Structure formats: structure tokens, C-alpha cells
Amino acid sequence: MADTQYILPNDIGVSSLNCREAFRLLSPTERLYAHHLSRAAWYGGLAVLLQTSPEAPYIYALLSRLFRAQDPDQLRQHALAEGLTEEEYQAFLVYAAGVYSNMGNYKSFGDTKFVPNLPKDKLGRVILGSKAAQQRPEEVRDLWQTCGDLMFSLEPRLRHLGLGKEGVTTYFSGDCTMEDAKLAQDFLDSQNLSAYNTRLFKVVDQEGKSHYEVRLASVLNTDPALDSELTSKLKRYEFQGNHFQVTRGDYAPILQKVVEHLEKAKAYAANSHQEQMLAQYVESFTQGSIEAHKRGSRFWIQDKGPIVESYIGFIESYRDPFGSRGEFEGFVAMVNKAMSAKFERLVASAEQLLKELPWPLAFEKDKFLTPDFTSLDVLTFAGSGIPAGINIPNYDDLRQTEGFKNVSLGNVLAVAYAAKREKLTFLEEEDKDLYIRWKGPSFDVQVGLHELLGHGSGKLFVQDEKGAFNFDKETVINPETGEQIQSWYRSGETWDSKFSTIASSYEECRAESVGLYLCLNPQVLEIFGFEGADAEDVIYVNWLNMVRAGLLALEFYTPEAANWRQAHMQARFVILRVLLEAGEGLVTVTPTTGSDGRPDARVRLDRSKIRSVGRPALERFLRRLQVLKSTGDVVAGRALYEGYAAVTDAPPECFLTLRDTVLLRKESRKLIVQPNTRLEGSEVQLVEYEASAAGLIRSFCERFPEDGPELEEVLIQLAAADARFWRNQAQEAPPGQA
């Protein structure tokens, strides 16, 4: 059997996303609007398979055909007859549920590959003897032959997502290196093109010259119809001695389905902002235009307090090894009025609270653009995973000048709150009951501060295309050096393009630090309903949760490649290092031996020193993070951040050794079962499923009732068309693993 790091355990937690009451309160028109937006999101989410690994689309198609012909209970009888044990069949169900939940065979949280926890020959017998194979023997056999080996392979390069010899990615062809990614970013910047909706494919000709294709996601391919600002850029270029060609049409048949349902949703929009937003999204996905998506995002920002909230597109860049390309994501959710009222009070206090952040006024936005901040119950979240909160859009120019929205996903948080005492690791016994009681409430506070005042704070110093600055170059002083500002963002440069591989994690660290820093404010705690001893417990558990998360983060560090696989967890480890460095016993991490005789560890936080020791340390660190971000100082920013993110075995913590303990004691991230919406006549029904691996599989089997087989064929064709770009990738091992 595989290393436990690369399997999903049979007893993995599975929870259902409960949105029944919020959906019940929608009007018939709102339900139809939500239904078509959900359909658009689910169709678009299929693109994530093509953004993850070469084999992911084939695995998805194989599983879908298998379970369409026989549901999990029927297939179980066949599997047991083929000689599988109950445990082995459950392992297969968990694997299939994991593929659906992560939209691929790599974990969305950590980017580690997971493989079936049963023998390959046994699974092969089940698949080739299944009803699906009886119905379409050649197709099922071909799918198994195409993806079976890769499904189980743990060749070193295939264990994690990554670029070049560090892992596998389908954002880039298999022979692309970090140098190719940097060159491509320079090219994109020179043409004022965003990387968000692109992939990069490289071919080397017989003379050894590199030819790069920058492919935009769009319905249209070479068709010049519907002329747009993009048409003139779809051509060949010479750039720094290399050939580049900008094309479009990536994921075209999938995006066509997205567009169809966005068009249908327009008929049920509540106002003109929603109509115009959807029209621009249609333009974006049709043409491949990020500028159109930005225009849609402007209308989305202006759509204040909708009953049905949604956002869709190529959004988060966490899984691009270079940090610039967005994974497709789409969500639809409904307002939770009680928690939203608390967030409205937080928004009302935001301008005052921003003044408490530890950087000069010149480093804050000229005007706080009051955002929407709502708590939502998710109906649909399509992509590789579901976050607890969101601050969007991610376009720096919009966030700086036009605003953003904050979203806390209440029913997702409710799933995250659930913690069993016997499964709590790395805490002192006396902390566990307090942790269980206050984890949920403290997380509400942290998410609120993280999204609104973390991601929503801070100014980027920019020189525009006309040479004008958005700050006073003569009078603004860098508080770290005492000198005038020496660096800034030029026209076309963004936070992601400039800080690239550390951008996401650095920004998450800044937002998490703002949350910890401001949760000490009594006004914030009163907004959430906490005073006196309760408020102190919320503060303590919030800080304790962060330092524990910093230790748990070690699971997502790869020693062989000396890199991190998850932006949020790297950020939390950095905060742990900052608080450890503060000294005076504020935080200690002590190796111990568990009751089972195996290595264990305990995290201790001295609550009496949070304000006297922790706050000043966090204040200094947070000020440096913001100053380096504002000024675009990549060299100093990398030195600071990568210094704290380094994982060594130096005493007293010996983090590399502690990593082994973390892997030994780790708990797998829960799988979440989402409902479907079904149109019956003119009414939309909510279809819910049991909280189990089988329930999650059934939800996906019923997700595309009209065109499931057609979609699987589309995915196979799209994957096969680009398969040449990743051939023989498994044979190349990263340094130290050959």
C-alpha cells in the first residue's frame, strides 16, 4: 500500500453543506437565477481537471462512466464478487469522492497527489468487469489503459504539483522551467496581457529554438467575429530572441456551456448591475478577455447586498507554480442575515480600525472604499476546494480604486467548526475544552478581520503609463529606512506578476497577521458580541489556533525540493516563526511521546504575554510586510519572507524532525458534499445527499443529467489534444530523488 501521505483514509470526515433554510427563503425568480448560475459554475469547474494533471480528465471520465452504469451500492456487489474486501471497496469510494471533491487527483489543499489505497490489479478487475465495461468495452478499456498507471504512480516528480523538475502542472507544458515562466511573464507584461486565463506551451525546434504558445481560455478560437480589444493581440511575436504566439480557445466547449447558462441567468437578474455583470462575463469567456471580466467585476462590486451572490472566472492563483494563472472557480450563495448584520457593523468601524494598523497613513489607500461584507450560505462552490472566506476581485487596480467585496461562507465555517476532542492534536490537555468551545466564534472574528481589513488594507505605490505617481514621491518616507521611496510598481506590473511565487502566501500572511493584531481590539470583539472573560478567551483561542496551524503547516512542506505546497499554510508557519522569535516564552513547541509510545508534540501559548510580547513582535513584522508590498521591493520582500519560511532542523524547534511527527499525527481534510438544483417545469428543487463518500459520488453522478457522457467525451478530447506536452514526464526525478 502507498505511504499514508498519498492516500485518503477510509474514515475520512465527510460533511454535507446545509443550505436548506436559506434556499427555502428564496423567491421563485431568485431560485431560477441561482439555478442557472450554479449550472454555469459546475460546467466551468470541469476546466479544473485540465488545469491539474494530464491524467485527471481521464480519471474523471472513467469514474463517471463507472458510477453512471452502477451506483455505489450496485458496484459494491460486483467488487466484492471480484475479490475485494469491504475495506478495499471503501478505499475506492473514498478515492473517487476525493477526485470529485478536488476536481482532480491532487489535493486542493497542499497539492499532494493521492492514489487509491488498494491493489491496482484488483481495481482493474472491478473496472474491466463492470457494467460500464460491458456496455462500452473499448472505451472503458482505453480509459483504464490511459490513466491506470498514472492513477497509482508515485514517481518522485508526480507526487506534488510543481514546475519543471519539481512536480507536475498543466498550466505549463512538461518541459517548461521557472526561467520559461519568468520569460513568459515579461512577455505578457510587455503586451499588457494578464496571465490569469492563460496556459503556456513550449516546443523546441530542430535548431534548439524555443517557440511558446500563450493560450487564452475562450469559446472562440481563430474566428475573428465579435471583434474585441483582444483580436489585434492574437498573433506571432519576437521577444528577447524567442518566438511567442498568442492564441485562444482553451476549454472552448466547456466555456460554451458556461456562457449558455449565464445568458439564461440574465433573464432572472434582480437589477441592471447583475445584467451588465453577466453580459461582461459572457464577453470575457467568449473572447478570452480579462478586461471584460474586470468590467463585469466592476458591476459586481456595485451590486450591493444581493440576496443571491455569485462570482465566476479564473480567480485564485495558488496552484500556478509561478503564481500568476487563475484556477477556474464559481460560487453561488445566499445571505445569512444574522451574521451579516455583525459584518455590517465591522464595515462601519473599518475606517477607524484601519488607523490602528502599524504603518503610516501614506501606506494606506487614499480613501477606504466601503465594501459589501456578508455572511453567505453556499449553494454551489465549483472548483478544487471550498474556502471559509473570500475577498475579491483579485485585480489590484480594481481593489485600489474601485473596491471589493468580502464574503464569509457561514455553512462552510459550520463544517470547519466541528472538532472532536479525541482528534485534537498538539494541544495541552487543559487547552482542549476551551479550544473546542471557542474555535468557531474566534474563527468568525479572524475571518472577518482577515478578509475586510487584511486583504482590504494597504496601498500599492504605482507609476502609471503617463508617468504620474499615486503618491507624493518627494514627501513620503519609508519608515523602515527613513529615506524617500526608492521602488514602486510600473505600468502593467501587478502584485502577482512582481512577487510571483511568493505573492499568494505573502498576502495571506499579511491578512492573517492583521486579523491577529486587530482581534486584540475590544471594539472588534464587542461587535461580535464578546466582552470580559469571553473576549479574552476568544483572543487566546484565536492566537492558539494560529500557532497550532503553523505547526500543522509542516505537512505541506517538501524537504526534497525545499518548497511549500500551500500558500495559507506557509503563511501560518511564518507567523509561528515570528511569534517564536519574539521569545520570553510567548510560544513554545515541545516534542513529547504520546500515550501510544510514538513521537508527539505540544504547542503552548502564554496568554499573559500576548499583548506585552506578541503584539509588539507582530506589529514590527506587519509593518515590514506592508512597506515592502507597497513599494514593490521584491528583493527585500523575498529575503524577509523566505527567511521566515525556511524549514531547518536547527534547535530548539528542530522543524524538520517535527514535520515527521506532524505527518504521523495528521488528520485528513474533510470532504464536503454539495447539493444539486433541479429544474422541474418552472420550479427549481434542491436535491440533497447523505454525508458519505457514496453520497458525494451520487451528487456528481446527478450533476450533469442531460449531457454527462458528452462532457466526458469533451474532456477526453481536450486532454488528448495536448497530451504530447507531458509525455515521459514521470521519468524525470527532482534533484536528490534520482
Question: Does pLDDT of 736 surpass 70?
Answer: no
Output the pLDDT for position 732: 42
**Can you tell me the distance from the alpha carbon of 52 to that of 219, in angstroms, rounded to the nearest whole number?**
20
Q: How many residues does the chain have?
A: 738
Contact 202, 175 (CB under 8 A): yes
Average pLDDT of the residues in 661-678: 93
**Can you tell me the distance from the alpha carbon of 78 to that of 134, in angstroms, rounded to the nearest whole number?**
13
What is the chain's alpha carbon radius of gyration, rounded to the nearest angstrom? 25
Output the pLDDT for position 345: 92
Rounded mean pLDDT of the chain? 93
175-184, 299-308, 361-370: the lowest-pLDDT one: 361-370
Catalytic residue among 283, 451, 512, 712: 451
**Can you tell me the distance from the alpha carbon of 583 to that of 296, in angstroms, rounded to the nearest whole number?**
48
Average pLDDT of the residues in 724-729: 84
Question: Does pLDDT of 557 surpass 60?
Answer: yes
Question: Cell numbers at residue 182, please?
Answer: 519568468
Output the pLDDT for position 3: 78
Interacting residues of 571 by C-beta distance below 8 A, sequence separation 6+: 505, 506, 508, 509, 512
Q: How far is CA 681 from the centre of its chain?
A: 36
184-193, 494-503, 576-585, 727-736: the lowest-pLDDT one: 727-736
**Can you tell me the distance from the alpha carbon of 241 to that of 207, in angstroms, rounded to the nearest whole number?**
13
Output the pLDDT for position 408: 85
Output the pLDDT for position 227: 56
Residue 574 backbone phi and psi in degrees, to 5: -60, -45
CA terminus-to-terminus distance, the chain: 22
Question: Does pLDDT of 533 surpass 70?
Answer: yes
Between CA 421 and CA 431, with CA 426 as vertex, the angle to 5 degrees is 55
Q: If we measure between CA atoms, which residue out of 338, 347, 405 comes closest to residue 372? A: 405
Question: Does pLDDT of 226 surpass 90?
Answer: no
**Can you tell me the distance from the alpha carbon of 578 to that of 29, in angstroms, rounded to the nearest whole number?**
51
**Can you tell me the distance from the alpha carbon of 59 to that of 114, in angstroms, rounded to the nearest whole number?**
12
Grid-cell match 467525451, residue found: 713
Q: If we measure between CA atoms, which residue out of 351, 307, 358, 310 comes closest to residue 37? A: 310
CATH class of the domain at 19-41+162-424+667-686: alpha beta
Average pLDDT of the residues in 325-333: 97
Output the pLDDT for position 731: 43
Does an H or E element contain 437, and which? helix 429-449
Average pLDDT of the residues in 131-144: 97
Grid-cell match 478499456, residue found: 141
Provide, rounded to the nearest whole percent, the portion of the chain with pLDDT above 90: 83
22-26, 373-377, 416-420, 595-599: the lowest-pLDDT one: 416-420
HSE value, Cβ hemisphere, 13 Å, CA-based, for 6? 17
Determine if residue 273 is labeled as part of a ligand binding site. Answer: no
247 pLDDT band, cuts 50/70/90, is very high
Count Cβ atoms below 10 Å from residue 128 Cβ, excluding itself.
16
Determine if residue 508 is labeled as part of a ligand binding site. Answer: yes
Between CA 608 and CA 614, with CA 612 as vertex, the angle to 5 degrees is 90
Residue 543 backbone phi and psi in degrees, to 5: -70, -40
Tell me the β-bridge partners of 30.
none
Phi-psi region of 492 (alpha: psi -120 to 50; beta: other; left: phi over 0): left
**Between 729 and 99, whose confidence is greater?**
99
Q: Is 642 a catalytic residue?
A: no
Question: Cell numbers at residue 191, please?
Answer: 503586451
- Biggest CA–CA distance in the chain, Å, is 79
Determine if residue 450 is labeled as part of a ligand binding site. Answer: yes
Average pLDDT of the residues in 525-549: 97
Domain residue limits, the chain = 19-41+162-424+667-686, 53-102+116-152+689-725, 426-589+608-647
Q: If we measure between CA atoms, which residue out of 332, 330, 322 comes closest to residue 409? A: 332
Question: Does pLDDT of 222 surpass 80?
Answer: no
Contact 106, 113 (CB under 8 A): yes
Tell me the β-bridge partners of 247.
215
Contact 685, 33 (CB under 8 A): no
